Amino acid sequence: MRLTFLGTGTSQGVPVIACHCGVCRSTDERDRRLRTSALLRTDGGRNILFDIGPDFRQQMLREGVERLDAILITHAHRDHVGGLDDIRSFNYVQGRKMDVYLNEEAARAIRNDYHYIFEPHVYPGLPEAELHVLGLTGGGSPIGEGSVEVAGVMVTPIKAMHKDLPVLGYRVGKMAYVTDANYIAEEEQEKLRGLKVLVLNALRKEKHFSHFCLGEALELIERVKPERALLTHISHEMGLHAEVSDELPAGVELAYDGEEVEI
């Protein structure tokens, strides 16, 4: 499998509008971050998307993506679902609804915010999505809390908290993707063991009320011991990519937009 980082920035992206800090003025392309998302290309030739933020259209065009089989949603904050309307191109080309996997809280928010997708309609060109709720209750297609087959591969949801909001990370084989979390219970951390690649959010160096800061992310990485860890959802407050990279322990890296990782 191959993972491509489509975006590694926070809700504002980097550079931030009207900001003149050293990171936002950096000429290093690794300091230019779209909103957080990643694309997993499986051995079977399928494409699975982690989150679909407001930069989705730009990211798909940049990477030349012409097929999208499923979307795994971590949570329904706008920087992670704001591109949902643009699935309409894939609906048209592929001739089917888009399969979207998410928890009950995210499904409820998406059905409210994107109500026109789910209302009966005959107007051509509207996006079409099939929500698959990962849990025992809720609308859509409840499919339980364990692993589920998505586009030909087994996906294991990982429960986490984003302050007071339940969010999901996902494990696929020897790779796991967790963003916008600041707490993962010990029993869920067990799902992060034995990984070749762990993608984990680290907002900045200073502590934050709803995201792992750098120190907290490094502590979790030390506990679960992946072969390689890549940090994402990075704020301009983290510092310059080149400088922070020199401070990180072996096996831990700042991810950057466009980076590809073999798994």
> Global pTM?
0.95
Q: Is the dihedral of CA 12, 228, 134, 187 positive or negative?
A: negative
State mean pLDDT over 160-177.
Answer: 97
4-55: per-residue pLDDT in tens? Answer: 999 999 999 999 999 999 999 999 999 999 999 999 999 999 999 999 999 9
193-249: per-residue pLDDT in tens? Answer: 999 999 999 999 999 999 999 999 999 999 999 999 999 999 999 999 999 999 999
* Residue 106 binned pLDDT confidence (cut-offs 50, 70, 90): very high
State mean pLDDT over 108-120.
Answer: 94
Which domains does the chain carry? 2-255 (3.60.15.10)
Mean pLDDT of the chain: 95
